[in-house]
Structure 1
């Protein structure tokens, strides 16, 4: 497969990979810690600032970075020739 037929360049894939890692980190921050079960009773830690505020903001940053990674313009030969 020729490099000309690929929609995303290497820089786009790197940005998208970083975004996926950030999104996964946000979901992990939401998931770790005690949870409320019938046997354990109510755990007030489910309302901590880490789970309610920090982790969702990190996930949103990751999703925005994913959009940036997809839409990030790549320089083509035509763009480079126009600059010269």
Structure 2
């Protein structure tokens, strides 16, 4: 067998995204998860009793804003150039 032969199948181990991209992706996922957690709850145990807490600032304004900001971070994480030097 010739020692100068190259292997037939060589795997390319380069990732599409860099470490910086994945860092922003995880931050974006955490912000989205926080937004959904803030939206949860606020209902009443008794269906005959109306609870005004469902319309508070946290559930109507803050949580959806956090989810949209998280999606914006995700878009930025996809578009940022991973090979750019600091």
Structure 2: unaligned runs, 5 residues or longer: 1-10
Q: What number of residue pairs does the alignment pair up?
A: 75
**1:36–1:46 Cα contact (<8 Å) kept:** no
Per the alignment, residue 39 of structure 2 pairs with 30
CA offsets 1:22-71 (integer angstroms, 9 cap, x no match): 00000001104x31455362110000011000110011000000000011
Distance 1:13 1:27 in 2: 21
Structure 1: unaligned runs, 5 residues or longer: none
TM-score (norm 2): 0.75
Structure 1 runs (4+) greater than 3 angstroms displaced: 36-40
Per the alignment, residue 65 of structure 2 pairs with 57
Structure number with greater Rg is: 2
Per the alignment, residue 26 of structure 2 pairs with 17
Query: Alignment partner of 2:73: what SS?
Result: helix
How far is 1:75 from its partner?
1.8
RMSD of the alignment, in Å?
2.0
Distance 1:61 1:27 in 2: 12
